[in-house]
DNA sequence: ATACTTGCAAAAGTTTTGCAGGTTA
DNA sequence: TAACCTGCAAAACTTTTGCAAGTAT
């Protein structure tokens, strides 16, 4: 049976308060406001644990390692701003996606990344 | 003005002979058949150069670093087999993709990754 | 009391950089 | 010969692991 530590609680709170997926470094930064002694190894260990237990979803971002978000979100994809680098969640999914797989290939998942400028950085 | 070295030529040949995008380690492995003394630093330096000059396209694969392919290919996406991990090129693109961006966001590119089992690994 | 967790520091994996020597034009 | 490149080894990063000490139940 797992113990509910301050550290683990702080991580989950951060993820729920965030506007989008966070990197381990961002999670460390924000969580230290609640648990100043927190170390990066603990962040990685807990993220792994929380992903295994199904509370957190891992998002592997091309060229930028893994980001994390609460697992209880509906199916969605992401937009990354080329200027501020922030990741935004995009609800929905193009309908034709499942017909792209070639003959004989069995499709069981997909990931879409949109790139451009967010509304803040467009101005 | 750049010099045409054996090393650089070997890299480009490998990429053209490959059935899909290659990782730096794979490129090193295959290129050493042509230039046995080749070092990994040279692979990284030349890939960077070839990308900058527009001869090679970098594909940042979620969770697996960068892969490389010749830049003269038509717009396409990729399928990764969960079993053998190989990357396959997928021609085409779902039509609804451009309408996913939220109001006020300027979209200038996108990347799609399909996951599942390739025809070899389905059997 | 026992099982689980933490922070630190060391280790491991990947990509980049400094440099002396070698290659290309 | 002058500019450019290479291989090696060291450096920089990011992520993982071992361990002694601390915390939750």
**Domain-wise residue ranges, chain A:** 6-70, 76-116
Q: How many CA atoms lie within 13 A of A33 on its CB side?
A: 7
Chain D positions within 7 A of any protein Cβ atom are: 3-10, 14-18, 23-25
Inter-chain contact B90–A106, Cβ cutoff 8 Å?
no
DSSP H or E run through B12:
helix B6-17
What are the tokens at B43?
Answer: 């692979």
Cα separation, B96 vs B81, in Å, equals 25
Confidence of residue B107 (pLDDT cuts 50, 70, 90): very high
The 10 Å Cβ neighbour count of residue A12 is 16
List of long-range contacts for A35-42, beta carbons under 8 Å, 24+ apart:
A35/A6, A35/A7, A35/A10, A38/A7, A38/A10, A42/A7
Does residue B118 have a known ligand-binding role?
A: yes
pLDDT tens-digit profile of A82-121? 988 889 999 989 988 989 999 999 999 999 999 999 999 9
Whole-number average pLDDT of chain B: 95
- The spacing between the Cα labelled CA in A37 and the C1' in D21, in angstroms, equals 15
B102, B109, B117 member nearest A115 (Cβ): B109
pLDDT at A87: 94
pLDDT at A56: 98
Please tell us whether the domain made up of B6-70 is placed in CATH 1.10.357.10. no
Region B23-49: mean pLDDT is: 98
Search chain B and give the residue with CA nearest A103: B119
B75 touches strand C (CB under 7 A): no
Q: Answer yes or no: are the C-beta atoms of B103 and B36 closer than 8 Å.
A: no
Residue B123 has pLDDT above 90, yes or no: no
pLDDT tens-digit profile of A25-40? 999 999 999 999 999 9
pLDDT over 90 percentage in chain B: 89
Confidence of residue A75 (pLDDT cuts 50, 70, 90): very high
């Amino acid at each position: 049976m797992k113990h509910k530590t301050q550290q683990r609680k702080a991580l989950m709170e951060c993820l729920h308060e965030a506007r989008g997926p966070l990197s381990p470094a961002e999670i460390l930064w924000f969580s230290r406001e609640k648990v100043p002694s927190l170390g990066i190894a603990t962040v990685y260990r807990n993220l792994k644990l929380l992903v295994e237990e199904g509370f957190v979803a891992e998002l592997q971002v091309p060229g930028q390692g893994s980001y994390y978000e609460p697992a209880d979100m509906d199916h969605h994809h992401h937009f990354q701003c080329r200027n501020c680098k922030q990741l935004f969640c995009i609800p929905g999914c193009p309908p034709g996606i499942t017909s792209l797989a070639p003959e004989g290939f069995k499709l069981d998942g997909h990931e879409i990344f949109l790139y451009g400028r967010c509304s803040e950085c467009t101005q």
